[in-house]
Amino acid sequence: MEEFIPRALGFEVRLAGHLAIPEEILDSTRRQYLAEAVARLVAYRKSERAIGLLVADADAYVPGLNFVFGLAAPSLGVATVFLRRLRQWTDRANYVERVVKEVLHELGHVFGLKHCRNRKCVMSFSNSVFEVDVKSRAFCRSCVRKLGELGIEVSGEFAI
């Protein structure tokens, strides 16, 4: 994480260390964590001015969806990515690529970006790992422009 976020979005990343997700926010019937509760936990643990990013070896959901790959809480300055489903039907290299895409996607939401209609844009909605595989790890011109208006300069490597 520490190497591609600064390359992509031009800001420093400092690892905060390990965060245990309490069993109280595990839905024992579904065997999944409630993603919104995890985001609140991250917000509670992060410093005031920092963006909280949690990459968890877990499965999570939000009400109304069977699962989520991640969840952003822009008002809390938090992005979460859940790894369990990203590992499905793939090799190590593609798994890492999926994680990169989902981290950038959730950080885009933290900065106020919505889902993009451009299927190649990293901000497009993914309802399956196959849809994650189809999109690129780059932001489309429209999303790059919106991030630029916020003072976030996207590297050419992460722009389409």
The pLDDT score that the predictor gives to residue 15 is: 66
The pLDDT score that the predictor gives to residue 13 is: 72
Instruction: Say which CATH number the domain at 153 has.
Output: 3.40.390.10
Can you give the residue range of the structural domain that contains 76?
4-158
Q: How many structural domains compose the chain?
A: 1
SS3 34: strand
The mean pLDDT values, 10 residues at a time, for the chain of 160 residues are 81 75 93 96 83 94 97 95 94 95 97 97 97 98 97 95
Separation CA 74–CA 113 (nearest Å): 10
Within the chain, residue ranges assigned H as helices are 4-9, 35-45, 92-110, 129-134, 141-149
Q: Is 131 a catalytic residue?
A: no
The pLDDT score that the predictor gives to residue 49 is: 80
The pLDDT score that the predictor gives to residue 3 is: 78
CA angle 79, 82, 86 (to 5 degrees): 125
The pLDDT score that the predictor gives to residue 16 is: 65
Looking at 23, 102, 106, 153, which residue is catalytic? 106
